[in-house]
Amino acid sequence: MQFKSKIQEIAQANNSRLVLALDFPFQKPGSSQELIVNADAILEQVYPYICAVKFNNHLVLPLGLFDGVRGLVDKVHAKGLLAIMDAKINDIGNTNQVIADYYYAAGFDAIIANPFIGWDDGLKPLFETSHKQGKGVILLTYMSHRGAAEGYGQTIVDPITGVSIPQYLMFAQKNVAYKADGAVVGATIPEKICEVHKVLGEEVPIYSPGVGTQGGSAEAAIKAGANYLIVGREIVSAENPAESARKLWNLTKIV
């Protein structure tokens, strides 16, 4: 079974659209065990309310891919959830393929990449190695921070039609053409979610980060067309992570 079907199945079973982002603040070198303990504790508290867990570079860097992170990925799987690596891959094709293969060897089920690199000798090898292994590729389409407008929000000229088009809508079209397993569109800009959803239809699910701490509304994102919500600091930094996750789960349940 491919990633897109797997996460949909788990989301339905858990009645959850929530993807937990294990985003912890910087800690001094040598505190990796504390990070692992904290990650374990958060996962244990919130797993009933989520369908997947997203890892970022700032967790992989201090823990090591095969030293600490692989153990956490195994625990995610033991809870019946999926693990997504937010690598934001953005290099030449051969490098992208090798990067992905390392993450997949550590147990990850999907990886996030940047579509700016293009298809030939860029994303193509990444998609090939991913789909061959039943893994998923999720493409950045419009990020959740304010500066995203400088890149994803710029107006470009379609090289085929000669028509001016926003960069993010071109990326939405590429999501469909490449058969991506997901598109990242920030919950902080629900109007962009709506526009991208019109392009993607039901072919490519939308993953929306930025709920809560960054100012995005979970309800507005879902109403605009988001399929999954990526939530980090709103849960991880909460005094009661389980309660924070439960509240978001109640607001955004599938049925």
With 0-12 / 13-18 / 19 or more C-beta atoms within 10 angstroms meaning exposed / middle / buried, residue 191 is: exposed
* 174 carries an active-site annotation: no
Residue 255 has pLDDT above 80, yes or no: no
Mean pLDDT of 30-37: 83
Per-residue pLDDT, 90: 95
Per-residue pLDDT, 149: 87
Mean pLDDT of 80-93: 97
Amino acid in position 110: A
Residue 30 has pLDDT above 90, yes or no: no
Task: Spell out the residues 6+ positions from residue 250 whose beta carbon is closer than 8 angstroms to its own.
Answer: none
Residue 211 has pLDDT above 90, yes or no: no
Class of domain 3-252: alpha beta
What is the dihedral sign for C-alpha 201, 202, 204, 205? positive
Catalytic hit among 79, 88, 247, 253: 88
Q: pLDDT per residue over 95-143, tens digit each?
A: 999 999 999 999 999 999 999 999 999 999 999 999 999 999 999 999 8
Per-residue pLDDT, 180: 98
Q: pLDDT per residue over 40-68, tens digit each?
A: 999 999 999 999 999 999 899 999 999 89
Per-residue pLDDT, 214: 76
State the pLDDT confidence band at 147, using cuts at 50, 70 and 90. confident
Cα–Cα–Cα angle for 243, 248, 253, nearest 5°?
Answer: 125
Mean pLDDT of 144-154: 88
CA dist 253 and 231 (Å) reads: 14
